[in-house]
Amino acid sequence: MNTKILASILTVAIALPVFAQSDQREKRIAWWREARFGMFIHWGLYAVPAGEWKGQPIPGLGEWIMNRAKIPVAEYEQLAKQFNPVKFNADEFVAIAKNAGMKYITITSKHHDGFAMFGSKVSPYNVVDATPFHRDILKELSVACQKAGLRLCFYYSQTQDWHEPDGVGNTWDFPDASKQNFQKYYDEKVLPQVRELLTNYGPIGLIWFDTPRNITLQQSQQLADLVHRLQPNCLVSGRVGHGLGDYDSAGDNQISVGKVKRDWETPVTLNDTWGFKKDDNNWKTPAVLIHQLAQVASRGGNYLLNVGPTAEGVIPQPSVDRLAEVGRWMKVNGDSIYGTTGSPFPYELPWGVITTRAQPARLYLHVFEWPGKEFVLYGMESKVRQAYLLADASRKPLAVKQQHHADTGLDELRIAIPAAAPDAIDSVIVLETDGAVKVITTLMQQPDRRVTLPAYLSDIHAAAKPKLRFDSRGVVEQWLDKSEWLSWDFQVSSPGEFEVVAITSGQKYGSNWEGGHRVTASVAGKDVQGVIADDGKVENPSNPYWAYVMSKLGRVAVPKAGKYTLSLKPQEIVADKKFGLTLVSVQLAPAH
Ligand code: H79
């Protein structure tokens, strides 16, 4: 038996007892899978300084200002007296989310600064008791959400609390770690406040815990159990710790790729901060946002997009404008997002992404780069009964030609399309199939003649248990041992001469890339040796914060159509900074 199949059977068998409660989980997660798109709101006292302290701009995230500027509790607390967001209107917040096509709202009930945005009997450090505003923001939002049919969810920082001597993180007011009693903070603030959140605000969709840090298995379990006991239909986020969440959370601004096994969500900023900063104008374009939304859906995940309201209680206009653009697209193309599952192909496609609907069987081709005249898809096994543009209300059928080429084994689907893209950002072609969608999952050359071999789909070769592994983006980390190597099987239908290109990834914000490794790529009986050097950046479609670097390794000729294997073996890995060979993919780019 194939070892991969054996491994997956074993995994299922072993996993069963852990998911004894899976019926309950399946029930509580149904709405969330349908929703696919939510609004994150980071709002708290940090909106008052808005990124500036005593006349100095403080770098980093807006909601981290207390930590970054090491503001003493006694000083930071004074911000509460200035927090009076008189322009706040819960109905407006909800309308902005709803108009964008978002189905749930996750707001910070308490961030790391320890300040509660709700009336809490547990601590007077809250919006009702400590500010001139005296209004319970979460209460008003819960009423507005129920009116509009959106799910309200709460972010709650369970370990970090810079206001409390026993919370995690404040080393400037409370430097003596030996005096800290995390359990006391946890018992006296976390558990009772979470109880308040699940008791006083109606049905809650999920609690978004964050930064598990030091939390013990027992404490995480107690939190998850508390949430589920008080509201059995309330989800617990992946960051509760110890894998006890109802779904996984990707890293901040990280979009998971590859073999995503569980339900997952990615939180994303509209600019570079979560909490409002007056000088952050690095806004993502509507195109990036719509592409990310479709991309996350194509990998079976939820997209949680953040806004940071001002201290006056207003969502910044650049955010509102961008969300309105996403909403414009969603009104036409929402069917290709809501309730869909990921792409049936394990690999990425050069022109965009695919989402799927099981019932009735549909494939949604999200075409980011409109080819004009004809759209070609390889590897489709199911018979396509009908194709049309989602933007076309009349559903005028597009002419479809489907062919199996016996000589190359290639399944080819050709769709006649209008010359002009129906949408400049993402035009969706709907395919209706006979029965469930079936595709060939083998890696294959694409109609643009390029072959992309993603690291996460490689076979790993190592003498012992491999030390290299994949991060949640599907990028290789810990490839420091040159005896470990990767290979891929793939199919070529259009032979010729190719440039072998390695794509590697920088760390966050494009810094900390380590090159100079020497590698050998072997394909079609030929070796090319090259250096992982910076031969230019390529756009990273998943994330503008992690730059991709392209390294040209050399040329190979692939003489005829057929099945090939490419292996990538390191000759030398530079490991000074311990990043190693951060491989994203190897590409065979047609050489002209
Ligand atoms: O709520 C948002 C962030 O505040 C929170 N998660 C999202 C959803 C978060 N908590 N911790 N982190 C993210 C990791 C943060 C690390 C950093 Fe820093 C904060 C990098 C820069 C500022 C800590 C302080 C490391 C360097 C300085």
pLDDT tens profile 279-329: 999 999 999 999 999 999 999 999 999 999 999 999 999 999 999 999 999
Assign 134 a pLDDT band (cuts: 50, 70, 90): very high
541 pLDDT higher than 80: no
Nearest one of 92, 81, 94, 93 to 134, comparing CA atoms: 81
Whether 64 is in the pocket of ligand 1, judged by its Cβ within 6 Å, is yes
C-alpha radius of gyration, the chain, whole number: 26
Whether 210 is in the pocket of ligand 1, judged by its Cβ within 6 Å, is yes
Place of tokens 């595709």: 439
Assign 517 a pLDDT band (cuts: 50, 70, 90): very high
Whether 412 is in the pocket of ligand 1, judged by its Cβ within 6 Å, is no
Q: What is the pLDDT of residue 408?
A: 85
Whether 38 is in the pocket of ligand 1, judged by its Cβ within 6 Å, is no
CB atoms within 10 A of CB 187: 14
pLDDT in tens, 60-92: 999 999 999 999 999 999 999 999 999 999 999
Find all residues with CB under 8 Å of 540, minimum gap 6, and list them. 505, 546, 547, 548
Whether 40 is in the pocket of ligand 1, judged by its Cβ within 6 Å, is no
Pairing of strands 151-156, 206-209: parallel
pLDDT in tens, 447-500: 999 999 999 999 999 999 999 999 878 899 999 999 999 999 999 999 999 999
Long-range contacts of 311-316 (CB under 8 A, 24+ apart): 311/47, 311/48, 311/50, 311/82, 311/83, 311/84, 311/85, 311/276, 312/85, 312/86, 312/87, 312/88, 313/85, 313/86, 313/87, 313/88, 313/89, 314/85, 314/87, 314/88, 315/92, 315/93, 315/96, 316/276
15 pLDDT higher than 50: no
Whether 41 is in the pocket of ligand 1, judged by its Cβ within 6 Å, is no
For residues 371-381, b (16+ Cβ closer than 10 Å) or e, as one string? Answer: eeeebebbbbe
Whether 252 is in the pocket of ligand 1, judged by its Cβ within 6 Å, is yes
Q: What is the pLDDT of residue 508?
A: 65
Q: How far apart are CA 543 and CA 548, in angstroms?
A: 10
Find all residues with CB under 8 Å of 78, minimum gap 6, and list them. none
Site to substitute for ligand 1 among 252, 274, 507, 508, most atoms within 8 A of C-beta: 252
Contact 85, 45 (CB under 8 A): no
190 alpha carbon to ligand 1 midpoint, in Å?
Answer: 20
442 pLDDT higher than 50: yes
Assign 510 a pLDDT band (cuts: 50, 70, 90): low
Assign 545 a pLDDT band (cuts: 50, 70, 90): confident
Task: Please tell me the residue having the least CA distance from ligand 1 atom 12.
Answer: 211
Q: How far apart are CA 420 and CA 309, in angstroms?
A: 38
pTM score over 0.85: yes
Assign 259 a pLDDT band (cuts: 50, 70, 90): low
Q: What is the pLDDT of residue 3?
A: 40
pLDDT in tens, 146-176: 999 999 999 999 999 999 999 999 999 999 9
Q: How far apart are CA 237 and CA 260, in angstroms?
A: 16
Average pLDDT on 392-420 reads: 95
222 alpha carbon to ligand 1 midpoint, in Å?
Answer: 25
Whether 156 is in the pocket of ligand 1, judged by its Cβ within 6 Å, is no
The tokens for 178 are 């030996």
According to the per-residue pLDDT averaged within each range, which of 249-253, 261-265, 275-279 is highest? 275-279
Going from the C-alpha of 359 to that of each of 153, 432, 436, the distances in angstroms are 28, 11, 9
Please state, rounded to an integer, the average pLDDT across all residues of the chain: 93
Q: What is the pLDDT of residue 12?
A: 37
Nearest one of 40, 11, 9 to 104, comparing CA atoms: 40
Assign 546 a pLDDT band (cuts: 50, 70, 90): confident
Pairing of strands 485-492, 459-461: antiparallel
Which three-class secondary structure state does DSSP give residue 365? strand
Which three-class secondary structure state does DSSP give residue 218? helix
What is the phi-psi region of residue 17: left when phi exceeds 0, alpha when psi lies from -120 to 50, beta otherwise? alpha
Going from the C-alpha of 324 to that of each of 98, 368, 555, the distances in angstroms are 10, 19, 46
Average pLDDT on 189-201 reads: 98
Nearest one of 333, 466, 437 to 389, comparing CA atoms: 333
20 pLDDT higher than 50: no
Average pLDDT on 17-37 reads: 83
What percent of the chain is modeled with pLDDT above 90?
A: 86
Q: What is the pLDDT of residue 509?
A: 60
pLDDT in tens, 567-583: 999 999 998 888 899 99
Question: Ligand 1: which atom is nearest the Cα of residue 42?
Answer: 1
End-to-end CA distance of the chain: 43
64 alpha carbon to ligand 1 midpoint, in Å?
Answer: 7
Site to substitute for ligand 1 among 41, 43, 46, 61, most atoms within 8 A of C-beta: 61
Q: How far apart are CA 91 and CA 148, in angstroms?
A: 8
